[in-house]
Amino acid sequence: MQYAILSDIHSNIEALEAVVAELRNREISKVLCLGDTVGYGANPNECCNLVREISECAILGNHDAGSIGLTNLSHFHSLAKEVCVWTSKTLTTENISWLKSLPFQTNYENSLLSHSAPSKPERWHYVSSMNDAINEFPICGHICFVGHTHVPVTFVKIDSKYKIITNPKFSINPDYNYIINPGSVGQPRDRNSNSSFAIYDSEIGEIETIRISYDIDAAQKKIINAGLPKSLAERLSSGT
Protein backbone atom coordinates (compact mmCIF):
# COMPACT_ATOMS: atom_id res chain seq x y z
CA MET A 1 0.00 0.00 0.00
CA GLN A 2 1.25 3.49 -0.87
CA TYR A 3 0.68 6.39 1.51
CA ALA A 4 1.34 10.08 0.98
CA ILE A 5 2.77 11.83 4.05
CA LEU A 6 2.01 15.57 4.07
CA SER A 7 3.02 18.14 6.67
CA ASP A 8 3.10 21.89 7.27
CA ILE A 9 0.65 22.96 4.58
CA HIS A 10 0.26 26.35 6.27
CA SER A 11 -2.85 27.62 4.51
CA ASN A 12 -1.12 27.46 1.11
CA ILE A 13 -3.89 26.13 -1.11
CA GLU A 14 -1.86 26.53 -4.32
CA ALA A 15 0.81 24.22 -2.96
CA LEU A 16 -1.69 21.74 -1.55
CA GLU A 17 -3.70 21.53 -4.76
CA ALA A 18 -0.51 20.92 -6.76
CA VAL A 19 0.44 18.09 -4.40
CA VAL A 20 -3.04 16.55 -4.54
CA ALA A 21 -2.96 16.68 -8.35
CA GLU A 22 0.36 14.83 -8.29
CA LEU A 23 -1.05 12.21 -5.94
CA ARG A 24 -4.03 11.65 -8.21
CA ASN A 25 -1.69 11.27 -11.20
CA ARG A 26 0.17 8.61 -9.22
CA GLU A 27 -3.15 7.01 -8.14
CA ILE A 28 -2.31 7.39 -4.45
CA SER A 29 -5.45 7.70 -2.37
CA LYS A 30 -4.16 7.22 1.19
CA VAL A 31 -3.03 10.51 2.74
CA LEU A 32 -1.66 11.09 6.23
CA CYS A 33 -1.32 14.70 7.44
CA LEU A 34 1.21 15.58 10.15
CA GLY A 35 -0.32 18.89 11.17
CA ASP A 36 -0.04 22.64 10.65
CA THR A 37 -2.74 22.64 8.03
CA VAL A 38 -3.14 26.35 8.83
CA GLY A 39 -0.93 29.31 9.73
CA TYR A 40 1.19 31.74 7.69
CA GLY A 41 -0.87 31.55 4.47
CA ALA A 42 -4.11 33.14 3.29
CA ASN A 43 -6.38 30.12 2.69
CA PRO A 44 -6.92 28.29 6.00
CA ASN A 45 -10.47 27.18 5.26
CA GLU A 46 -9.72 25.94 1.78
CA CYS A 47 -6.78 23.91 3.10
CA CYS A 48 -8.80 22.48 5.99
CA ASN A 49 -11.59 21.52 3.62
CA LEU A 50 -9.24 19.73 1.24
CA VAL A 51 -7.30 17.93 3.99
CA ARG A 52 -10.58 16.79 5.52
CA GLU A 53 -11.59 15.44 2.11
CA ILE A 54 -8.41 13.56 1.25
CA SER A 55 -6.82 12.50 4.54
CA GLU A 56 -7.04 9.04 6.00
CA CYS A 57 -5.59 10.43 9.21
CA ALA A 58 -4.60 13.90 10.43
CA ILE A 59 -3.04 15.30 13.60
CA LEU A 60 -2.68 18.70 15.24
CA GLY A 61 0.22 21.09 14.66
CA ASN A 62 1.30 24.05 16.76
CA HIS A 63 -0.16 26.64 14.35
CA ASP A 64 -3.40 24.69 14.24
CA ALA A 65 -3.48 24.71 18.04
CA GLY A 66 -2.48 28.36 18.23
CA SER A 67 -5.30 29.35 15.90
CA ILE A 68 -8.00 27.66 17.98
CA GLY A 69 -6.86 28.52 21.48
CA LEU A 70 -5.27 25.18 22.37
CA THR A 71 -1.73 26.43 22.95
CA ASN A 72 -0.16 29.55 24.44
CA LEU A 73 0.71 32.12 21.78
CA SER A 74 3.29 33.77 24.03
CA HIS A 75 5.77 31.14 22.81
CA PHE A 76 5.22 32.09 19.14
CA HIS A 77 7.31 34.69 17.37
CA SER A 78 5.48 37.91 16.47
CA LEU A 79 4.68 37.05 12.83
CA ALA A 80 3.36 33.60 13.70
CA LYS A 81 1.27 35.04 16.52
CA GLU A 82 -0.21 37.70 14.23
CA VAL A 83 -1.24 35.10 11.65
CA CYS A 84 -2.71 32.78 14.30
CA VAL A 85 -4.94 35.62 15.49
CA TRP A 86 -5.97 36.37 11.91
CA THR A 87 -6.59 32.69 11.21
CA SER A 88 -8.73 32.30 14.33
CA LYS A 89 -11.04 35.03 12.99
CA THR A 90 -11.09 33.55 9.50
CA LEU A 91 -11.75 29.85 10.19
CA THR A 92 -15.29 28.59 9.88
CA THR A 93 -17.00 27.06 12.89
CA GLU A 94 -16.89 23.71 11.15
CA ASN A 95 -13.15 23.85 10.58
CA ILE A 96 -12.49 25.02 14.13
CA SER A 97 -14.40 21.99 15.38
CA TRP A 98 -12.43 19.71 13.08
CA LEU A 99 -9.08 21.08 14.23
CA LYS A 100 -10.15 20.74 17.87
CA SER A 101 -10.93 17.07 17.24
CA LEU A 102 -7.39 16.25 16.08
CA PRO A 103 -4.93 14.45 18.39
CA PHE A 104 -1.39 15.63 19.11
CA GLN A 105 -0.13 12.30 17.80
CA THR A 106 -1.48 8.93 16.77
CA ASN A 107 -0.46 5.49 15.59
CA TYR A 108 -1.38 4.52 12.07
CA GLU A 109 -0.80 0.88 11.24
CA ASN A 110 2.89 0.35 12.13
CA SER A 111 3.89 4.03 12.24
CA LEU A 112 3.78 6.78 14.86
CA LEU A 113 2.62 10.17 13.57
CA SER A 114 3.62 13.30 15.49
CA HIS A 115 3.89 16.91 14.38
CA SER A 116 6.70 17.72 16.82
CA ALA A 117 9.03 15.69 19.04
CA PRO A 118 6.91 12.67 19.98
CA SER A 119 8.04 12.36 23.60
CA LYS A 120 6.10 15.52 24.52
CA PRO A 121 4.11 16.50 21.44
CA GLU A 122 2.19 19.26 23.22
CA ARG A 123 5.49 21.08 23.98
CA TRP A 124 6.20 21.57 20.25
CA HIS A 125 9.90 20.73 20.43
CA TYR A 126 11.78 20.18 17.17
CA VAL A 127 13.54 17.08 15.92
CA SER A 128 16.11 18.98 13.90
CA SER A 129 19.42 17.38 14.88
CA MET A 130 20.84 13.95 15.55
CA ASN A 131 20.94 14.71 19.27
CA ASP A 132 17.22 15.53 19.14
CA ALA A 133 16.55 12.26 17.33
CA ILE A 134 18.62 10.17 19.74
CA ASN A 135 16.48 11.48 22.61
CA GLU A 136 13.29 10.55 20.75
CA PHE A 137 14.16 7.10 19.39
CA PRO A 138 13.25 5.21 22.61
CA ILE A 139 9.55 5.94 22.14
CA CYS A 140 9.35 6.05 18.33
CA GLY A 141 9.11 2.39 17.41
CA HIS A 142 10.07 1.18 13.95
CA ILE A 143 8.92 4.23 11.96
CA CYS A 144 7.96 7.67 13.22
CA PHE A 145 6.87 10.46 10.90
CA VAL A 146 7.34 14.02 12.18
CA GLY A 147 7.00 17.52 10.76
CA HIS A 148 7.47 20.98 12.29
CA THR A 149 10.97 21.82 10.95
CA HIS A 150 9.87 22.21 7.29
CA VAL A 151 13.06 20.39 6.25
CA PRO A 152 13.01 16.87 4.78
CA VAL A 153 15.41 14.52 6.56
CA THR A 154 15.56 11.00 7.97
CA PHE A 155 17.33 9.90 11.15
CA VAL A 156 18.14 6.20 11.47
CA LYS A 157 19.06 4.07 14.48
CA ILE A 158 21.04 0.93 13.62
CA ASP A 159 21.56 -1.07 16.81
CA SER A 160 23.57 1.42 18.91
CA LYS A 161 24.68 3.56 15.95
CA TYR A 162 22.97 6.45 14.20
CA LYS A 163 23.04 8.06 10.78
CA ILE A 164 21.23 10.67 8.68
CA ILE A 165 19.72 9.93 5.28
CA THR A 166 19.36 12.85 2.90
CA ASN A 167 18.77 10.81 -0.26
CA PRO A 168 15.23 11.41 -1.53
CA LYS A 169 14.60 7.68 -1.98
CA PHE A 170 15.68 4.78 0.19
CA SER A 171 14.61 1.35 1.39
CA ILE A 172 13.35 0.61 4.89
CA ASN A 173 15.28 -2.04 6.81
CA PRO A 174 12.92 -3.94 9.15
CA ASP A 175 15.66 -4.10 11.82
CA TYR A 176 16.32 -0.34 11.92
CA ASN A 177 14.41 2.51 13.53
CA TYR A 178 13.50 5.63 11.56
CA ILE A 179 12.38 9.18 12.27
CA ILE A 180 11.26 10.60 8.93
CA ASN A 181 10.40 14.22 8.15
CA PRO A 182 8.73 14.70 4.73
CA GLY A 183 9.37 18.45 4.65
CA SER A 184 6.73 21.10 4.11
CA VAL A 185 3.99 21.29 1.50
CA GLY A 186 3.28 24.99 1.92
CA GLN A 187 6.45 26.60 3.29
CA PRO A 188 9.69 24.66 2.67
CA ARG A 189 12.72 25.96 4.58
CA ASP A 190 15.61 24.07 2.99
CA ARG A 191 16.26 26.77 0.37
CA ASN A 192 14.17 24.86 -2.15
CA SER A 193 10.87 26.61 -2.84
CA ASN A 194 9.19 23.51 -4.27
CA SER A 195 6.59 21.72 -2.16
CA SER A 196 7.91 18.69 -0.30
CA PHE A 197 6.09 15.54 0.73
CA ALA A 198 6.81 11.83 1.02
CA ILE A 199 5.39 8.62 -0.36
CA TYR A 200 5.69 5.48 1.72
CA ASP A 201 5.23 2.12 0.01
CA SER A 202 4.65 -0.25 2.91
CA GLU A 203 4.58 -3.35 0.71
CA ILE A 204 8.08 -2.97 -0.71
CA GLY A 205 9.41 -0.93 2.22
CA GLU A 206 10.41 2.20 0.36
CA ILE A 207 10.26 5.92 1.15
CA GLU A 208 10.56 8.68 -1.43
CA THR A 209 10.56 12.45 -0.87
CA ILE A 210 8.92 14.27 -3.78
CA ARG A 211 9.44 17.91 -4.76
CA ILE A 212 7.01 19.69 -7.08
CA SER A 213 6.52 23.28 -8.17
CA TYR A 214 3.35 25.28 -7.64
CA ASP A 215 2.03 28.79 -8.35
CA ILE A 216 4.09 30.71 -5.78
CA ASP A 217 3.12 34.06 -7.25
CA ALA A 218 -0.58 33.41 -6.66
CA ALA A 219 0.04 32.33 -3.06
CA GLN A 220 2.14 35.45 -2.43
CA LYS A 221 -0.49 37.80 -3.83
CA LYS A 222 -3.16 36.27 -1.59
CA ILE A 223 -1.00 36.76 1.51
CA ILE A 224 -0.44 40.43 0.67
CA ASN A 225 -4.09 41.03 -0.29
CA ALA A 226 -5.19 39.52 3.01
CA GLY A 227 -3.16 42.16 4.84
CA LEU A 228 -0.73 39.61 6.27
CA PRO A 229 2.98 40.49 6.66
CA LYS A 230 4.74 40.85 3.30
CA SER A 231 7.73 38.87 4.56
CA LEU A 232 5.55 35.75 4.75
CA ALA A 233 4.95 36.07 1.01
CA GLU A 234 8.58 36.80 0.19
CA ARG A 235 9.95 33.74 1.99
CA LEU A 236 7.99 31.40 -0.27
CA SER A 237 10.27 32.31 -3.19
CA SER A 238 13.49 31.59 -1.30
CA GLY A 239 12.42 28.46 0.55
CA THR A 240 13.58 29.85 3.89
Beta-carbon contacts of 89 under 8 Å, excluding residues fewer than 6 positions away, are none
Look at residue 142 in the predicted model and tell me its pLDDT. Answer: 97
Could you give the C-alpha distances from 128 to 70, 116, 147, 148, in angstroms and in order?
Answer: 24, 10, 10, 9
Look at residue 196 in the predicted model and tell me its pLDDT. Answer: 98
- Name the strand (E) or helix (H) holding 223: helix 216-225
Where the chain has pLDDT below 70, the residues are none
Look at residue 57 in the predicted model and tell me its pLDDT. Answer: 97
Q: Is the pTM of this model over 0.75?
A: yes
pLDDT digit string, tens, across residues 1-24: 899 999 999 999 999 999 999 999
Instruction: Identify the CATH number of the domain defined by range 2-238.
Output: 3.60.21.10
- 153-158/169-171 β-pairing: unpaired
Look at residue 63 in the predicted model and tell me its pLDDT. Answer: 98
Angstrom distance (rounded) from CA 172 to CA 33: 20
Per-position b or e across 73-91, b if 16+ CB within 10 A of its CB: beebeeebeebbebbbebb
**Count of alpha carbons within 13 Å of 127, Cβ hemisphere only?**
30
